Amino acid sequence: MSASPLVAYPTDTLKVNSRPTASPLKRPISAAPSSDGTPRPPVQAQPTRPHATMDLAEQMNDDEKRKWVKGKKLGEGTYANVFAAHLRTDPSQKAAIKKIKVQKEYRDGMAPDALREIKHLQELNHPNVVRLISVFSSKDQNLNLVLEYLPLGDLEDLIRNVNTYRYGAADIKAWMGMLCRGVWFCHENFVLHRDIKPNNILIAANGEAKLADFGLARSFSDPAIPMTTNVITRWYRPPELLFGARHYSGAVDVWSVGLVFAELIIRSPFLPGDSEINQIDCICRAIGTPTEENWPGVTKLPGYAVAGETVPVYGKDAYMGRFGAVGADGVDLLMKTLVLDPRKRITAREMLEHKWWRSEPKPTRNEDLPRKTKGGLEKMAADLKRVNPMEEDNRGAKVARKLDFGAMKK
């Protein structure tokens, strides 16, 4: 009996009480009959475990936990394991359960990544932000995050696999629209994401792009309170952070959005610096050197340092040559996201009001966007049933990489 993880539920570690007490809160969960008539495994056919001697808090947690049936392990990372899951009452409702591991190297209790992700995702509910459906703790004291199931990979897959996926200006416009709406919603709710990049933008079964990975997010700070500068993956980090600004705004996310935009067009990272110094160099060479003229006060930032000759900020012509695929209006938006001075950079709201969205071509509808697999959910189900361990391993590795916050930050 003790072998089956689902049968014996310890109501208390110090004293297991076998006498079931009728609980006022016990909710019988009806087991859905299986569709093909096959008898279900016994553990599933036994949905009600007595709440025995549980506190109200434990009962609430248990009710939440029992809504879900955990399925196959999809990936393993240093930070978390990911499982497929579905609703007990409606197996067609799929989800992913991210089981966060206790981080051994972080000795101060719950790790900041997990805390931030839970804190912010609990509050944000928007079609372009990954949805946190539920959180519960398992009996081994691990956190389980029930997240929206996003089976079609991420934007990075689509950008990198140049030979597999072809996409055009209308597709870029659709993806950028979704990204901008997600970022706008975060800022509207006073949350900075602080790690926007192509592999944090996941694709749902219906083609909708969603902002994910809130492990570095934080609420807007009060004016007097400094923030850390060591956020956002280097290639997408704005100049004010590279110069060590401790008081910054939503403009840091907008810069990252601009670089995702550029990357979607040229299908390779626009500013791939190999160190922080080199990153500043890349910015100076590709966009222009930050100076007191184009950015009053920049030289007083703690980490201000630019090497070599001052490069004047590039004008529209220079951008048209490289990014002309999205048209003049698209280039205009791109340039406004990549303004050096964060105070003059376009805001998320202004991005949504930009004329590019309404100029030709119209953005592609979600169902017509290039995607990892055609056929959406049916194909995904088939994918999951297919027993090809190599494929499974690859898929797992991708998810794991995405979840590995520790590796990403350094």
75, 77, 79, 85: which one binds another protein (CB under 8 A)? 85
Q: With binding defined as CB under 8 A, does residue 3 bind another protein?
A: yes
Q: With binding defined as CB under 8 A, does residue 71 bind another protein?
A: yes
Beta-strand relationship, 143-148 and 94-100: antiparallel
Count of beta carbons in the 10 Å neighbourhood of residue 330: 24
- CB distance 186 to 90 below 8 Å: no
Nearer to another protein, 43 or 382 (CB): 43
- Say how many Å lie between the first and final Cα of the chain, rounded: 45
350 is in an annotated binding site: no
Rounded CA separation 373/353 (Å): 33
81 is in an annotated binding site: yes
Strand-by-strand arrangement of the 80-87 sheet: 68-76, 80-87, 94-100, 143-148, 132-137
Residue 195 designated active-site: yes
Rounded CA separation 333/88 (Å): 46
Count of beta carbons in the 10 Å neighbourhood of residue 393: 12
Binding mask 86-115 for another protein (x = CB under 8 A): -------------x-------xxxx-x--x
Q: With binding defined as CB under 8 A, does residue 142 bind another protein?
A: yes
Joined together, the tokens standing for residue 70 give 């955990």
Q: Which of 62, 154, 195, 253 is catalytic?
A: 195
Report the site for another protein in 236-295 (rule: CB under 8 A). Answer: none
Rounded CA separation 217/232 (Å): 10
The b/e string for 285-317 (b: 16+ C-beta within 10 A; e otherwise) is: eebbbbbeeebeebeebeebebeeeeeebbeee
Using CB under 8 A, which of the segments 77-85, 149-157, 278-286, 317-325 binds another protein?
Answer: 77-85
Q: With binding defined as CB under 8 A, does residue 6 bind another protein?
A: yes
Using CB under 8 A, which of the segments 49-57, 159-167, 257-265, 347-355 binds another protein?
Answer: 49-57
Joined together, the tokens standing for residue 365 give 């509808």
Q: With binding defined as CB under 8 A, does residue 55 bind another protein?
A: yes
Report the site for another protein in 196-235 (rule: CB under 8 A). Answer: 218-219, 221-222, 225
Residues at the binding site for ATP are 74-82, 98-99
Residues at the binding site are 74-82, 98-99
Interface residue list for another protein (CB under 8 A) = 2-6, 10, 12-15, 17, 19, 21, 23-25, 41-43, 53-58, 60-61, 69-73, 81, 83-85, 99, 107-110, 112, 115, 118-120, 122-123, 125, 135-143, 189, 218-219, 221-222, 225, 387-389, 392
